Structure 1
Amino acid sequence: MSETKTALVTGANKGIGYEIAAGLGALGWRVGIGARDDGRREAAVVRLREAGVDAFGVPLDVTDDDSVAAAAELVAEHAGGLDALVNNAGITGGGPQQPSTVDLALVRRVVETNVLGVIRVTNAMLPLLRRSAAPRIVNMSSSVGSLTRQSGPGGELITGPVAVAYSTSKTFLNAVTVQYVRELAGTGILVNCACPGFVATDLNGFRGVRTPQQGAATAIRLATLPDDGPTGGFFEDAGVVPW
C-alpha cells in the first residue's frame, strides 16, 4: 500500500485553500481539491499538477448532503482513506450585518456554509480519517470569532466593523470544534482551529495585509502535526488564539 498521505481541502480552488493544497502538495501529499465550481476546480488542479502536486478534483458543495456523500465516495475510491481534512470553505455573507437590522436569511446562509457545512463534511469523512495512522482535522476559523478578542482587557467592546453573521459563525465553529475534540478524545484524531490572519482574498475585497501563502501556514502545520501535537486548540502564526 502506498505510504503517500492524502488530504482533502474544501474551498481549495483559490485563495487560502489553494495555498494550503499547494503547501501540502509540496510536502509530498496527495491533495483533493474540493470546490463547487467545476471550471475553477479543474483549473486549480491543472495549476497544481503543473507545479508538481499530486492533486485531484473533488466536486463538493458543503451545503448539500448528496454532494458531500459523493465526495466521500470519490476520496475513498481515489485514495482509499484520508489523513487530513481541512475545512476551509467559507463565506462572509456580504451585506449589512448589524444585529438589529440584519436579514435573518443572510445569517442562516452563512451558518449553513461556515458551521453546518463543516459538520456535514467532517461526519462524511470521519470513516476515512479513522483508517489513517495519524488523522488530523483543521477548521479554518478567524480571530473575529474569539470572544476574548472581541472585547478589551477590561471587558470593554472593541471598535471595528460589526458582522453578526460572519463573526458569530466563527464563534459557533470554535464551539463545534471543541465538541469534536471531546467526542474524539483517545482516537488519535487531532482537531484544531486555525486563524489565517487578515489575508488579501476576494472574501474581503483583497483588503487584507497578508498573502494567501502566509494565511495557509498555520493550517499546513496543524494538518501535519506529530502524534504528540496539540488537539482542541485555536492557533495563528504567533501562537495560541484565546477563545
Structure 2
Amino acid sequence: MPVILVSGAANGLGAAFVDAYRQQPDTTVLAIDRASIQSKHDNVHCWTVDVTDESSITAFITSVNQPHIDLVVHSAGIRGLVPHLEDEKHGDVDACETLEAMDFATLTRTFQINAAGTFLLLRALLPLLRQATHPKVIIMSSRMGSLGNNFAGNRSAGSAYAYRASKAALNAIMRSFVVDVPEVNFVMCHPGRVETKLVKWKEEDAISAADSVDGLLPLIKRWGKGDSGQFYDRFGETIQW
C-alpha cells in the first residue's frame, strides 16, 4: 500500500495533491501543514507541523504509524512579499518585492520556510523514506529560482529577492541531498503560475491548483532514478539552473 506525504496540505497545490492521491486505490496520504487541517476521508491523516520548528517536526515523526513513506510531495512555502505592502499595494505583486521594498525580516522568514524548513523536514523523513522500495521526493520549486533564467532582457527577471534567493537555495540543498542520499530520488519541479494563497489575490494568467496537479501526476509517476537531481517545469521540460 503506497504511503504518500504531502506538505502545505491546507490549501493550494498541497490540498490539490491530497485530493488527487486520496482517490487512488489502497493509498494512505499523510497531510501536514502549519495550519490546522482535518479530513473526512479514512485514508487521509492530518498533522499540524511547522517546518521551521524542529520540535514540531520531531513530534510529527514520532507519531507517524507507518513502516515507510514511498513519496513525498513538498509544496509548503511562502511567496516572500513584504507583508505591509501586500495590503497597501493589493494586486501589485511587483511592488511588494522590489529592491527598494525588500526588508531583512521578509528575507529571513522566506529563507527559514522555503529553504531551511525543507532541509529540516526532509532530513527527519529520511529513515522512513529509506524503508521504501523506490522512495521519491518531489519538490515544488520555481523557475524563479533559476539563476540562468534571471538575466537582463528577460521580462520576468529581476526583483523578487526573497522568493528567488530562497528557491535557489532550496534547489542547492536538494542537489546535496541527491549526492548524500542516492537511494532516494529527488526531483525539483516548477508547477506553473498557480492560483494559491501564496499571494492574497489571483495573479494574471494563473492556473488552478487542480489543473497544475492533473498535469504533474503522470510526470511524478514516471520520474525515477535517471531524473534525480533534475529541475523540470510542469510539462516535463528541463529548466536551466
Aligned with residue 191 of structure 1, among 177, 186, 196: 186
In the alignment, which residue of structure 1 is the partner of 2:90?
none
Q: Does 2:147 match 1:158?
A: no
- For 1:92, give the aligned amino acid: R
Is the Cα contact below 8 Å between 1:17 and 1:88 reproduced in 2? Answer: yes
CA distance in 1, matches of 2:121, 2:219: 18
Q: Does 2:182 match 1:182?
A: no
Unaligned 5+ segments in structure 2 are 83-95
Instruction: Determine helix, strand or coil for the equivalent of 2:149.
Output: coil
In the alignment, which residue of structure 2 is the partner of 1:89?
76
Instruction: Give the structure-2-normalised TM-score.
Output: 0.85
Is the Cα contact below 8 Å between 2:4 and 2:30 reproduced in 1? Answer: yes
In the alignment, which residue of structure 2 is the partner of 1:16?
13
CA distance in 2, matches of 1:211, 1:124: 31
Q: 1:169: how far off?
A: 0.7
Is the Cα contact below 8 Å between 2:81 and 2:162 reproduced in 1? Answer: no
- For 1:174, give the aligned amino acid: N
Between the aligned residues of both structures, percent identity stands at: 26
Compared CA separation, residues 219 and 89, structure 1 to 2 (3 A): farther
In the alignment, which residue of structure 2 is the partner of 1:31?
29
Q: 1:221: how far off?
A: 4.1
Is the Cα contact below 8 Å between 2:6 and 2:30 reproduced in 1? Answer: yes
1:74-153 aligned at under 5 Å gives the runs 74-75=63-64, 77=65, 79-95=66-82, 96-99=96-99, 101-151=101-151
CA distance in 2, matches of 1:86, 1:222: 13
Per-residue CA distance 1:72-115 (angstroms, 9 max, x = gap) = 1222x2x2221111221001122233335521111000000000
Deviates more, 1:128-137 or 1:199-208: 199-208
Deviates more, 1:136-145 or 1:21-30: 21-30
In the alignment, which residue of structure 1 is the partner of 2:208?
211
Q: 1:211: how far off?
A: 1.1
Q: Does 2:56 match 1:67?
A: yes
Instruction: Give the structure-1-normalised TM-score.
Output: 0.84
In the alignment, which residue of structure 1 is the partner of 2:88?
none
- For 2:160, give the aligned amino acid: A
Unaligned 5+ segments in structure 1 are none
Compared CA separation, residues 181 and 222, structure 1 to 2 (3 A): farther
CA distance in 1, matches of 2:178, 2:225: 15
Aligned residues: 223
CA distance in 1, matches of 2:56, 2:217: 25
- For 1:57, give the aligned amino acid: C
